[in-house]
Amino acid sequence: MNVIFMVSDGFGPASETFGRTYYQYVNKYPSNHITPLDKILVGQSRTRSNSSLITDSAAGATAYSCGHKTYNYGIAVTPDKHPCATILEGAHNKGMLTGIVVTSRVTHVDLLFGGGLCHFIPSYESKSCRKDDNLIDDSEFLFINDRVSFDNLNNTGVLPVMGLFASDHMSFEIDRDPKKEPALWEMADKALKILSYSDKKRKGFFLLIEGSRIDMAAHGNDPAAHANDILAYYKTVEVVQKFVDENPNTLVVSVSDHETGGLALGYQPTKVYPKYIWYPEVVARVKKSSNKIALEIEEVLKSRVKSKESNDEDDNDNTDIIYDLIEDIILDKMGIDDVTDEELNYIIESEAGRTIIDLSNYLAKMVSNRAKIAWTTHGHSGVDVNLYAYGKHSRLFRGNKENTDIGRTIEKLLGLNLSELTDRLFSDFKFSNTNINTRISKPKFNEIHYHDIKN
C-alpha cells in the first residue's frame, strides 16, 4: 500500500473559500465550479496542542507524524520530552520507500525535493550557511540543484536522490521563475513516478508533500502570494488524484497542521456599516509577492539615501523622482492606481524607522484593504482545518477528528508499531531538561515564522 500525506501548511477554511473564489475568478469559471480539494472533502481536524489551544508547527507536525499531542516547540517528542518514532521512520524501517517534497527548506528519506541548499554545503562555499561539513558530498544521494537536471532526471535507478532548488525556501509561486525552479506539482509528479517505478519489492511507499509557502504568505498577510500558492497546491492535488486513479492501492490524505493569519473574507474599515463584498480582482492584479515588491522599493530608496549623504543640491528633485518611481512600482506590481499620500509617505518617509518586514507587511495590507479582506494575526489561529482523503480506505477519515487520530490511522493502515519502534530507537535516551514548561532556548521570530526576506 502507498500513502501520500499532503500538508497544506497554514491553510484554513477561510483560505479554502478565498482560494476557490480566486480560482474561479482567474480561470473565468462559474460560481458553482469546485476545486480539486472540494471533491475529496471528508471532514475536519482539530488542531490544539498539548500546551495551548493554538498549536505551533512543531506540535502540529508531531500529532500527524507520531500520533501524539505535544507542547508547542516540541518536535517528535511526547509531553514528557521523550522522543517518539514517526510514520516516516516506521515506513522506512518496514522497507517501504520514503520521500519528501516541499517548497520550504528541507532536512533520512529515499527522495527529497525542496529548498535549503545552503544548509548542505560547506562553510567555505559562498552560498553556505553552515559552519562545518559538506552534507551533500558526505551523503550517498544523487544530487541535483537546477531545473535542467530536474527535467533530465530519469524515473528509474536514481534512488536515493536529493533535489535542492533554492538556497533557502523556494520562491512563492507568484515569484517563481519556471526556468530555475520546478513547481510543487512538478516535483510531486516526478517523485510519484520515481517512487512507483523504484518499488520493485512492492512494499509500497510513503510520500510527504507540503505546500509550505501557503503558510508563509499567510504569516505575512500577503493575499496574492497566499492565493497563488493555494492554486499551486490545487494543481498538485490533481496530479496526486490522477496517480491514485491509476494506482488504486494508494491512499492520499490532505490536511493542514493549523490555520495561519486569521483570514476573514469581509472587512469593515470604518464605523460605517460595511458592504457585503470582497474583491478577488484586486488580488488578481498583483504580480509579485509583497516581499519582492518591498525589496524593489528598497533599492529605489537607496538612491535617495546616497543623494542625501552626498549633500546633492538637487535632493528635492531627486525626492520627487523617488515618489514617481515608487508610485510606478505600486501601479505596475500591485495594480493599485489610487495610492494615497499617507501610504506613499509611510513607504518613503518612514524608511529610517522601519524594517523590510514592516514594509512588506504594509504593502500586503494595502492590497488586503482594497480587496476588503482582513487578517487577525501574523501567527496561527486555533480553528479546525478541513480534512480531505481519496483512494484506498479514505472512508476511515470521515468526520471531525483529533489531529492525532489521523496519524494513528495511517500507522495502523501501514501495519506499523511506532510505540515498539520508539522503544527500540530511543531506549537509552535521556533529555537534559525535564521541565516541560520551559524551553532550552527561545527561537527567533524569523525561525518560527519564516519572515526572512531575501533576493
What residue segments make up the domains of the chain, in order of their start? Answer: 2-262+379-449, 280-372
Output 7 or 201, whichever has higher pLDDT.
7
What pLDDT is stored for residue 306 in this prediction? Answer: 57
Judged by average pLDDT, the poorest of 171-175, 309-313, 339-343 is 309-313
Q: How far apart are CA 312 and CA 33, in angstroms?
A: 58
Residue 144's identity, in one-letter code, is I
248: pLDDT strictly greater than 50: yes
What pLDDT is stored for residue 141 in this prediction? Answer: 86
- Would residue 167 show up in a list of annotated catalytic residues for this protein? no
What DSSP character marks residue 387?
Answer: E
Mean pLDDT score, 396-417: 98
Mean pLDDT score, 44-64: 97
Output 248 or 109, whichever has higher pLDDT.
248
In 3-state terms the chain splits into helix, strand, coil percentages (rounded to 5) of 45, 15, 40
First to last CA, the chain: 42
Judged by average pLDDT, the poorest of 26-35, 111-120, 439-448 is 439-448
List beta partners, residue 295.
Answer: none
- CA neighbor of 388 nearest in space, from 91, 100, 34, 50: 34
Contact criterion met (CB below 8 Å) for 81 and 430:
no
Give the model confidence (pLDDT) of 219-243 as tens digits. 999 999 999 999 999 999 999 999 9
Output 416 or 352, whichever has higher pLDDT.
416
Output 305 or 269, whichever has higher pLDDT.
269
User: Is 210 flagged in the annotation as binding?
Assistant: yes
Give the model confidence (pLDDT) of 287-339 as tens digits. 999 999 999 999 998 877 555 555 555 555 577 889 999 999 999 999 999 99
The DSSP-derived string for 160-218 is: SEEEE-SSSSPPPTTT--TTTS--HHHHHHHHHHHHHHH-TT---EEEEEE-HHHHHHH
How many Cβ atoms sit within 10 Å of the Cβ of residue 354?
A: 13
What pLDDT is stored for residue 308 in this prediction? Answer: 55
Active-site position among 45, 49, 57, 254: 57
What pLDDT is stored for residue 444 in this prediction? Answer: 47
Output 378 or 158, whichever has higher pLDDT.
378
Give the model confidence (pLDDT) of 348-377 as tens digits. 987 767 899 999 999 999 999 999 999 999
Report the predicted TM-score, pTM, of the whole model to 2 decimal places: 0.91
**Residue with grid cell 526572512, as numbered in its chain:** 452
- CA neighbor of 284 nearest in space, from 221, 217, 335, 229: 335
442 Cβ contact list (under 8 Å, min separation 6): none
Q: How far apart are CA 177 and CA 168, in angstroms?
A: 15
User: Is 411 flagged in the annotation as binding?
Assistant: no
Give the model confidence (pLDDT) of 308-321 as tens digits. 555 555 555 577 88
CATH class (in words) of the domain with range 2-262+379-449: alpha beta
pLDDT band at 433 (very low <50, low <70, confident <90, very high): low
Q: Work out the burial of residue 169: count CB atoms within 10 Å of its CB; fewer than 13 is exposed, 13-18 middle, 19 or more buried.
A: buried
User: Is 108 flagged in the annotation as binding?
Assistant: yes
With b for 16 or more beta-carbon neighbours within 10 A and e for fewer, the 177-197 pattern comes to eeeebbbbbbbbbbbbebbbe
Give the model confidence (pLDDT) of 68-104 as tens digits. 999 999 999 999 999 999 999 999 999 999 999 999 9
Judged by average pLDDT, the poorest of 110-119, 205-214, 354-363, 386-395 is 110-119
User: Is 257 flagged in the annotation as binding?
Assistant: yes
